[in-house]
Chains A and B, each alone.
Chain A
Amino acid sequence: MRAPSLLLLALLSAAGCRRERRSFSEPSPLQARVERAEPLPSGEPLSHFLDNAWAVSEGARLFGWYNCAGCHSLGGGGGMGPPLRDGAWRYGGAPADVHRSIVEGRPNGMPAFGPRIPDYQTWQLVAYVLSLSGRLRLDVEPGRPEAIAIGKPPVMVSKKLPSAEPLPEAP
């Protein structure tokens, strides 16, 4: 009786911690990566961001603050830049690909934010961008913003879209 309930509690705490932890700075697994050229992390360090509600919501804030919304529009509906909520990716939709797009920039107008945004904030942005097409756990997705809903109303998106293969580049 006691052992299963303890186990349950431990499981709960693991799940709760990952979703709810609020790290206000570069988390330690990433801190060692001084050089940005180092291979991008995968697995555990990424779950700091992708499975964490705080990181996603920080990403949402930065999306407005760093003017990503200027081209991709609030909520990622697309404008001057491509939409981010339709699950179609020109340069790959894996977390590492999105991260590279932000850091290094892409042709046709996406600037390189590498020197201007701390790496952990880039990952927060990645988490938010992935949440826009419904690719994160349901319980870390951001709620509605406290502002006027601009752009098209949200539409259902399929989660089965290819994520890794890049689409042919736009002419």
Chain B
Amino acid sequence: MTSTVATESTPDSRSEDARLERELTDTWRLCRGFAGWFCETNHTVIARRMLVTAFVFFALGGVEALLMRLELARPDNHFIGPDRYDQLFTVHGSTMMFLFAVPVMQAMGIYLVPLMVGARTVAFPRLNAYAYYTYLIGGVFLYVSLFTDTGPDTGWFSYVPLSGPQFSPGKRVDVWSQVVTFTELSALSTAANLIVTTLKLRAPGMALNRMPLFVWAELVTSFMVIFAMPAVMLATMCLALDRLVGTHFFNSAVGGDPLLWQHLFWFFGHPEVYIIFLPALGMVSSIVVTFSRRPVVGYLPMVLSLVATAFLGFGLWVHHMFATGLAELGQGFFTAASIMIAIPSGVQIFCWIATLWSGRLVLATPLWFVFGFVAIFVVGGLSGVMVASVPIDLQVHDTFFVVAHLHYVLIGGAVFPLLGGIHYWFPKLTGRMLDERLGKAGFVLTFTGFNLTFFPMHLLGLHGMPRRIYTYRAATGFGPLNLLATVGAFVLLAGLLVVLTNVVRALLSGRDAGPDPWQSDTLEWSVASPPAPYVYEHLPCVAGRYPLWEGIRDCVVEGMDPRQRQVLVTAALDAAPDHVYVLPGPSIWPLLSAVATGVTFITMIFTPWAVPLGLALGTVCLVGWFWPRPPHEPLLAEQP
């Protein structure tokens, strides 16, 4: 069995270290060349690609939002017209939910979780690459469709029967349902990967109660993904069958039910919000701890809040359906659940405030984003309590009030922490420091722009402006507030451009960061920035929640063979070392399998022959993927 030993640097061990480093570099070498680009499975590379892809989709979704704001800036505007406008808001919503928010949070997880738990990589590197390519193909498919006038146009929750075969002719909604299937497949793969990485690859000694809060958040989120995503895949599959094969799942005339769609969709759709926002809470915890220079107040309540949110999050989907006229008693139950979910969120906010209160604050840019997050998110949470109440919801449901609410929750609750997280981990991702002055300017502009854009929408909703209208009459009096929101959208754009400028400048000429620029607490800051492909020369072992502050850098794992891609598998609860597992190297098969999946899903829209074709392609790909490795790469390491 491999052993965990505390060592001390001596001159002897230094040459030993140099040899070890050479061998590790050789074993974990990244692929080179054009073909190597497609074979790579290293988790830092895949996660970086996923981050960049997600931000590209964020930019595209943002452009769509700006076009919509331009259309709504004046009453009776004929800038875009209904057909385009419907495609824009559908693709905007679908992009932000499916192609940006979930993947970007998972990408942060894929990058950081192995580093934070002291692992060399994720548990299933090839599955990780497959998840990325599936997501990429799905996203590109959506945008190719938009540019060929086949953009989905029934909203990101595509209610039937509007999205059914009779009222949505053509292939627009089929594109949407397949894109959803693509992205959910990718999210499920990544979730499985993160769960196994977290539970089985933690450094020795990192028992569950010593895991960083960000890792907890990603773990809880991944479990939510596994329970929520199948519901929407089921729903979109039924929709595709209704549209392509003529089944009657949602046809009320022959015993189907349009409300079935809504139940299935929101059983996924509401947890989706927490899937997006729990990782962001994890980022906030990391940032608050680092810049308060002290442990978080109430680690246990924080973890329990995350878990409680995950459970409650599945019990309140019906508050999206109050206006459908369900039974009163049932509505009361869902009101109670929706109101109660404010408690775990509240607990976390109180804990952060208590941490800041008793800390020694360093007011760096990431912490500014956290302040912005608290201010915005509390507003979003309180308007959330309002929409949980049936009578109030009946007034504000499907109006601009809800548009304001959801952007306060999702931008305030997820994008601000994410931007904070990007500022915080940028040194780790790239080895360069972002400029603090530009960072703060970016924060001020995004914060101002955000509130200018979305606060007026609360009022518009209360005054009677429904969602998803492409224009409105001048006599309604919605004009001035809409104009203000449009101006705000451009301020927000300016803020995001400042952030982008900062990133580009840092990449070109940023200050060298060094391994630990913030004197932070978690393991990822103990390795080089950016980390070597093998991440840890010696796997660390851990004796507390804040390893770098507790000064235990000298305890390491020894005895792993550097000539193989070995990872140390530990027990799920107390992270006691269990055995060594050898991971497979780079491979083209994840990409080919993703292409096969893509071909199958896309041709399925046009012909049923896609099913046998997909089966054949899938079989070929899986055989290639799992083809036994040559004997000089044994599956299990020899026991010493």
Contact = CB atoms under 8 A, between A and B. Distances in A.
Q: Do chains A and B touch in the complex (CB under 8 A)?
A: yes
Interface of A: 9, 12-13, 15-17, 19-22, 53-54, 56-57, 60, 138-140, 142-149
A146 B257 CA distance: 11
A15 B165 CA distance: 20
A142 B165 contact: yes
Contact of B171 (A17, A53, A146): A53
A143 B163 CA distance: 11
B476 interface: no
B333 to A, nearest CB: 31
Contacts of A16: 145, 148-150
Nearest to A139: B606
Q: Report the interface size class on chain B.
A: 20 to 34
A98 B254 CA distance: 32
A22 B253 contact: no
Interface in B372-394: none
Contacts of B83: 22
Contacts of A142: 165-166, 169
Interface stretch (B118-126, B244-252, B305-313, B445-453): B244-252
B144 A54 contact: no
Contacts of A139: 171, 606
A94 B207 CA distance: 76
A112 to B, nearest CB: 28
A144 B166 contact: yes
Given A16-B145, A54-B169, A56-B169, A144 B150 contact: no
B166 A54 contact: no
B164 interface: yes
A69 to B, nearest CB: 14
Contact of A21 (B145, B149, B164, B165): B149
B134 to A, nearest CB: 20
A148 B164 CA distance: 15
B363 to A, nearest CB: 47
16 contacts: A9-B144, A9-B147, A12-B144, A12-B148, A13-B147, A16-B149, A17-B149, A139-B171, A139-B606, A140-B170, A143-B246, A144-B246, A145-B166, A146-B251, A146-B252, A149-B254
A146 B246 CA distance: 10
B607 A20 contact: no
Nearest to B256: A146
Ranked nearest first, the 4 interchain pairs of A and B with the lowest CB-CB distance are A143-B165, A16-B148, A57-B169, A53-B170
A143 B166 contact: yes
A105 B11 CA distance: 103
Interface in B571-594: none
Contact of A19 (B170, B248, B254): B170
A143 B240 CA distance: 11
Contacts of A21: 149
A57 B252 CA distance: 20
Contacts, number: 73
B248 A144 contact: yes
B143 to A, nearest CB: 11
B172 interface: yes
B627 interface: no
Given A16-B145, A140-B169, A149-B254, 19 more contacts: A13-B148, A16-B148, A16-B149, A16-B150, A19-B171, A20-B149, A20-B171, A53-B169, A54-B169, A56-B169, A57-B170, A60-B166, A140-B170, A142-B165, A142-B166, A143-B242, A144-B246, A146-B161, A147-B253
Q: Is the interface of A mostly helix, strand, loop or mixed?
A: helix
A9 B148 CA distance: 9
Interface in B115-151: 144-145, 147-150
Contact of A54 (B161, B164, B170, B252): B170
A6 B421 CA distance: 37
Contacts of A140: 169-170
Nearest to A58: B169
B169 A144 contact: no
A149 B170 CA distance: 21
Contacts of A60: 166
A56 B171 CA distance: 13
B314 to A, nearest CB: 30
B626 interface: no
Given A13-B148, A143-B244, A144-B251, A20 B170 contact: yes
B35 to A, nearest CB: 14
B293 interface: no
Nearest to B252: A146
B243 interface: yes
Q: Which residue of A13, A20, A57 has the most chain B CB atoms within 10 A of its CB atom?
A: A20
Interface in B593-640: 606-607
Contacts of B169: 53-54, 56-57, 140, 142-143
Contacts of B251: 144, 146-147
A144 B171 contact: no
A52 B88 CA distance: 21
Q: Which residue of B145, B148, B150, B164 has the most chain A CB atoms within 10 A of its CB atom?
A: B148
B170 A17 contact: no
A138 B171 CA distance: 11
Interface in B223-258: 242-244, 246, 248, 251-254
Nearest to B83: A22
Contacts of A12: 144, 148
